[in-house]
Amino acid sequence: MNWSFQIEPKSITPVYRQMIQNVLDGIGQKRINLGMKMPSIHKIGEEFGLAPGTVIRAYEELREMGLISSKQGKGYYISSIQIQEKVKVFLLFDRMNAYKEILYDAIHHNLNPGIEMDVFFHHYDLKRFEKLIRGNLGKYSFYAVMPHFNEDVSKILAKIPERKLIIMDKAVQGLKGKYAAIFQDFEADIYQGLISQRERINPYKHFVFSSSESPFQFIPDGCIKGFKRFCNETGIPFEIVRKLDLTMIKQKTIYLLYSDMELIGLIKEVESRNWIPGKDVGIISYDETPMKEILQGGISVLSTDFRQMGKQVASFINGDSFTQKTNPFQLILRNSI
């Protein structure tokens, strides 16, 4: 029995996914039987004006699902009609904290029904990162990974098929291929965010960046570069410290903090001195969380939009075409500067 694919070129669903769904529907409706010969890659490409790579991608995914197999010189055949396709997602974070909860919830709430997601954490341990990826290859439909390392991890990530890989939050410069990515441009983002509120920052006499060096905190190199660029261009004296010494804080100084624990410590110290944030001292935190909207009447924050990032990750998993793009970022102005 012969059959053909039904393709809607104007559909928002990628063509290769339409082809896969055609086969799943055909099996479910018993129109496609065990041993049936698949249309050739050449025939499908010619009929619908498709690039061979599109057809090959669909056939490869069907093969990985165990539904088709190839016979040398004879093409592809239906090798199983046992549909066991359950979309499972491997989600690899660095660690859990407040903004990761926002990101996770946004992914989870925007996934199509029935999609399962398993969450793992690498805790900035490169060996653990590699072990988790290698140990789970072939077990998941998609691999959404947060590669929070300043070291090059492109060789590790290259083990994941590009059509299954979704990079979150940090770009991996050495990684090639048509994988999906939604990330921050850390250097440009922090520079543009600070420039956007230059008039509010100018009255301060000193700018301190605390990198909060800790095994539980990742500071991208780009953030420090963007901070230095802003300070050098605006002429504001600056300092980069690994840990904030609360006994040495000064008035007319603005502090940029990565660690929420340091933020709380600074606020307590400022209160003990009866200083007013936004007047006597400036405070900018990194990464938005609901707590910062109300803390001390509102803490100014440099942050990407983690809800939007989560929605985009979910859309890749749901079937949107894979792209590589930056995520929205801003300095959210509140009372602390």
Looking at residue 277, the DSSP 8-state letter turns out to be: B
* pLDDT for the residue 135: 92
Q: Are residues 194 and 177 in the same domain?
A: no
The one-digit pLDDT tens for each residue of the chain (337 residues) are: 456 678 887 787 888 888 988 898 888 888 888 989 998 898 888 888 889 999 998 998 888 788 899 888 788 999 988 766 678 999 999 999 889 999 999 999 999 988 999 999 999 999 999 999 999 987 899 999 999 999 999 999 999 999 999 999 999 999 999 999 999 999 999 999 999 999 999 999 999 999 876 666 788 999 999 999 999 999 999 999 999 999 999 999 999 999 999 999 999 999 999 999 999 999 999 999 999 999 999 999 999 999 999 999 999 999 999 999 999 999 999 999 9
> Which residues fall within 8 angstroms of residue 327, CB to CB, at 6 or more apart?
169, 182, 183, 184, 304, 305, 308, 309, 312
CATH assignment of the domain containing 118: 3.40.50.2300
In a domain, 255, yes or no: yes
Q: Are residues 294 and 323 in the same domain?
A: no
Q: Are residues 52 and 197 in the same domain?
A: no
* pLDDT for the residue 61: 85
For the purposes of burial, counting CB atoms within 10 Å of the CB of 14, is it exposed (0-12), middle (13-18) or buried (19 or more)? Answer: middle
Q: Do 146 and 287 contact (CB within 8 A), yes or no? A: no
Computed on alpha carbons and rounded to an integer, the radius of gyration of the chain in Å comes to 25
pTM attached to this predicted model: 0.75
- Give dist(CA 326, CA 185) in Å, integer: 7
- Give dist(CA 213, CA 217) in Å, integer: 7
- Give dist(CA 301, CA 337) in Å, integer: 10
* pLDDT for the residue 233: 97
**What is the distance in angstroms between the CA of the first residue and the CA of the last residue of the chain?**
72
Please provide residue 331's backbone torsions phi and psi, each rounded to the nearest 5 degrees.
-95, 115
Measuring CA to CA, how many Å separate 313 from each of 18, 177, 227, 280? 20, 17, 28, 41
* pLDDT for the residue 5: 79
Q: Are residues 225 and 288 in the same domain?
A: yes
Q: In terms of residue numbers, what domain contains 211?
A: 187-303
* Structure tokens that stand for 268 in this block: 């307590």
In a domain, 9, yes or no: no
* pLDDT for the residue 48: 87
Q: Are residues 204 and 295 in the same domain?
A: yes
Domain count, the chain: 3
- Give dist(CA 130, CA 153) in Å, integer: 9
